[in-house]
Structure 1
Amino acid sequence: MSAKFDLLPDAALYDAAAEALYALAFGPGRHVKAAARLREGHSCRRDVSFVALADGQLIGACRLWPLVTDQGHEALFLGPIAVAPDQQGQGLGGKLVEACLEASDRLTALPVILVGDLAFFEPYGFQRVPKGQLILPGPADPSRLLWRPALKAEIAAPSGKLMKKV
């Protein structure tokens, strides 16, 4: 890992570099995943999304996207998280997740949903969504559908079919 990096709020000027990093990390197959349906043609919430820069180069990115269910529950969708290959294994992905969640806790009262590995995300307060409670717009392993309650609100896990909030 670079000895020094800066975590900064996401901005449009990082879009091309972030997309190149996502392509490197996840390949072309990322566009056919259910999670991609929730992001395509849609803007992330810049105020709760972060990038990592070292020597002016983007080395990591984590974005949150506004969602709503068909039952009217609002949430944020976390991902993708990507870290440059030569920076991996040093905790930068976790620092990006922490920055996004801290901003979300400060600025919203929304739960956060993601598709990912419980072992990685459980320390950040994520848990499995009860089976059948949320429906993604495409196939996904239901054991990887996770959520984290909003700290400012006492609500149960959102329910219904997940959709982009426009």
Structure 2
Amino acid sequence: MKNRQFTGRHYETGTIANILQARGDINPITKKPYDEDFVIGASGGIAFGYFVFEYKGYLPHVALLTRNTFHPFERALDNLGIRREVRETTNEAKGEENLRRELDMGNLVVVWADAFSLPYFGFENHEMYGMRPLLVVGQEGDDFLVVDGTKSPFSMSRTEMA
């Protein structure tokens, strides 16, 4: 899996497209691997909206919505018939145990991480959080091989994943 090329770019639809492609799933109509465009449609498609947010102590900002925002990740999984098993824990050791067990069984694993805590984004403001899925495709020693909008998996340490 380390040398595999991944085409999904968006943190939600790209993650799902990468899972489908890595599993070798083929669209029965096109006879080609599922692509991210297909997953966007399955997640609810394209929409448009905007909101203006004004919080005390912060400059106002506009949020533009370019797609269905009502749980698009879960909606895409449901519409594509993708079964999943959810495991949640607040115990770091248990989380790592669960992750390594699934990887040892050859499964691809989606973990939810706080984007503001991920080292490769370089965010400095830890007053905020934003959860996003990461695709974990394997292990390399104590490190994990992660795909997060990248063509190739990259290594993340146990500490970075915690």
Q: Which TM bucket (shorter chain)?
A: under 0.3
Larger radius of gyration: 2
Structure with greater helix percent: 1
Output the TM-score relative to the length of structure 1: 0.27
Output the TM-score relative to the length of structure 2: 0.27
Structure with greater strand percent: 1
